Amino acid sequence: MLNVISYFSVHNLLPMSQLVISSHEEFQTFLGKELGVSEYTTITQDQINRFADATLDHQWIHTDPARAAAETTFKSTIAHGYLTLSLVPHLWDQIAEFRNIKMMINYGIEKLKFNQPVLVNHEVRLRAKLHSILNLRGITKFEVDVTLEIKDNPKPAFNGILVFLYHFTNNK
C-alpha cells in the first residue's frame, strides 16, 4: 500500500503530498506516472555568488548585477545552469521519501537540455515522472523525467532524464 505524507509548504501554505516508497515493487507501480512536484525555491544572488566561488566560474553574467543590468536583455544576473541542476537532490527529497534503502547512487544524466536562464530572485520547482524502472539483481535502476519549472514562465529552465541506482534492503 502506498503511503502519502501530507505537509504544508513553508512558502505558500498550500498542501502538498510526498510519496513514501518502501520497495522496488511499490515504486514500480508508478511507471509512466508523475511522481510529484516540489515546492518553489528562490535563487538568490548570494547563492549564485557562492556557487561561483565553489566552481571558480565568476563570469560577470552571474556575479556582476550592475553590468548584467546594463549589458544584457535580462537586466539582471542569471543563475549558472549547473547551479540549477545542483538543486535536484534538495527538490527531489520534497517529492519522494525512500525507506528501506541501503544505498542511493546518482548514476547519470540523459538528454539534459538547458532551455531558459533563471534570473536572480526567480523561483523554480522540480516536476518528476517515472520514465523506467528495472530490478538488476537486487538493485533498482530507474530513470526519472525531470523538468525544472520557473514560476510564471511557460518555458522550463531545463529538462532531462536522471538515472539512479537505489538498493532497497528488501529487494531480491
Task: Report pLDDT for 16.
Answer: 56
- Domain spans of the chain, in order of start: 3-44+91-168
- Can you give the three-state secondary structure of the chain, one letter per residue? CCEEEEEECCCCCCEEEEEEECCHHHHHCCCCCEEEECCCEECCHHHHHHHHHHHCCCCHHHHCHHHHHHHCCCCCCECCHHHHHHCHHHHHHHHEEECCEEEEEEEEEEEEEECCCCECCCEEEEEEEEEEEEEECCEEEEEEEEEEEECCCCCCCEEEEEEEEEEECCCC
Query: pLDDT (tens digit, 9 = 90+) per residue, 110-121?
Result: 999 999 999 999
| Residue 2: per-residue pLDDT | 43
Query: pLDDT tens digits for 22-39?
Result: 999 999 999 999 999 999
What CATH number should be reported for the domain whose range is 3-44+91-168? 3.10.129.10
- Dihedral pair phi/psi, residue 59, rounded to 5°: -55, 135
Query: How many angstroms separate the CA atoms of 157 and 22, rounded?
Result: 31
Sign of the dihedral through C-alpha 56, 60, 62, 63: positive
Rounded to 5 degrees, φ, ψ at 155 are -100, 130
> Which residue(s) pair with 168 in the sheet?
101
Tell me the three cell numbers of residue 172. 531480491
Rounded to two decimals, what is the model's pTM?
0.87
pLDDT of residue 68: 98
Instruction: Name the stretches of the chain with pLDDT < 70.
Output: 1-16, 171-172
Q: Which residue has the cell 566561488?
A: 53
| Rounded distance between C-alpha atoms, residue 12 and residue 40, angstroms | 9
Q: How many CA atoms lie within 13 A of 45 on its CB side?
A: 9
Q: What are phi and psi of 40, to 5 degrees?
A: -75, 145
